[in-house]
Structures are given as C-alpha cells and as structure tokens.
Amino acid sequence: MQLGNELRHLRERAGLELADAGEVIERTWATVSKLENGITGIRQKPLREVGRALTPK
C-alpha cells in the first residue's frame, strides 16, 4: 500500500481531485482510487506515466 500512499500524496500535492488525475493519466477516477487504496495494481509503463503526470515540473 506504500505505492498507493505515494500516489495519493503526489496527486494531492499537485492539487488534483481523483477525476482530474484520472483524466491526466487517461484512467477513470475509480481506477485512481483503487490504485491509491491498493485494490488494483498497475504495470510499469502506466506507472511511469502517472509519475510524470503528477510530478511538478
């Protein structure tokens, strides 16, 4: 669940709601929620995309 906590932290730091983050990474808000709560996993390539999208530039 550590990954999910980190994703939530990045999303919140970026000032994004679940739906906003989902739009950025082309996933639904529900998928973002499941990732943050450790209910579903994510493959390496999409994970990199999430990291890029949520990391401040």
Task: Give the predicted TM-score (pTM) of the model.
Answer: 0.76
For range 28-56, the mean pLDDT: 83
Provide the residue count of the chain. 57
**pLDDT tens-digit map of 7-31:** 899 889 889 999 998 888 888 999 9
User: Which residues have a Cβ under 8 Å from the Cβ of 48 and sit 6 or more positions away?
Assistant: none
What was the pLDDT predicted at 1? 60
For residue 27, give the 3-state DSSP assignment: coil
**Tokens at 27, concatenated:** 């996933």
